[in-house]
Amino acid sequence: MRIAINGHAVDLLHGDALEKVATLTGPFSAIITDPPYSSGANSLAGKQQSTSKKYTGTKGRCPLPDFEGDTLDQRSWTRWIAELLRDARTIAELDAPLCVFCDWRQLPALTDAVQWAGWSWRGVCVWDKINSRPQKGRFRQQAEFVAWASNGPMPVDRGVGVLPGVLSYTQPQAAGRVHQTQKPLDLMRQIVRICRPGGTVLDPFAGSGTTLLAAALEGYDAVGIELSKSYYMAAQARLERAGRDTDGSADVEGEDQKGA
């Protein structure tokens, strides 16, 4: 399915990321994605709970559907994401950036997987979510992370400006969410700017389509893949709604959720 948003082509594919990436030829100018973390607990039994129990405050009563692919133990998850990132690198331009979201539990595994897949690991960007559940005597768990890398050398003359290393945005409000773990649109608009001007962004885990929408609004073409049928349909509807606007700016999140 192809949708034009803000004058840019957005392709959304339904299927397994490993299978679909193998059919793409690229080349892609950036790989930017938010995969299932298979996290949210310290034991395998905890990891295998429904995603609504792990990632939302509803204790399993979230009105949004659970998403697939989130029940792996850490070793299996590391092997799986490394394989995906290896295949994605073969269709990435030389010097293309890679940005992959994770939480604190999976950050060590992800940085290993990035390097095993042949990417040049370059650092970690912090998403400060601002709000979090307070726990007495502990540091707040108010951040998630973006491990970023490049496909080989990364020249400074790619036409990309200086980007912040810490991004502060609150999560979309419940009434404005399409996905259980949806990222703020303004956050993703900042992150996609690491792509070279005029490039094409690949998101193998498209979810509700936030990265695809952000890419189009920032001036890039984009290709996304989503496994869960319910979220593929939700992303399609969201992108089509944006495509009907003259500038593609309308979105279910409503007003920007930017923090201080």
More confident: 225 or 175? 225
For the ranges 53-57, 64-68, 184-188, 250-254, the maximum mean pLDDT occurs at 184-188
pLDDT band at residue 250 using 50, 70 and 90 as cut-offs: low
Q: What percent of the chain has pLDDT over 70?
A: 78
Residue spans of the domains in the chain: they are: 2-35+75-243
pLDDT at 257: 34
Residue 187 has pLDDT above 90, yes or no: yes
pLDDT at 128: 96
pLDDT band at residue 50 using 50, 70 and 90 as cut-offs: low
Range 85-91 average pLDDT = 98
CATH of domain 2-35+75-243: 3.40.50.150
CB atoms inside a 10 Å sphere around CB 131:
11
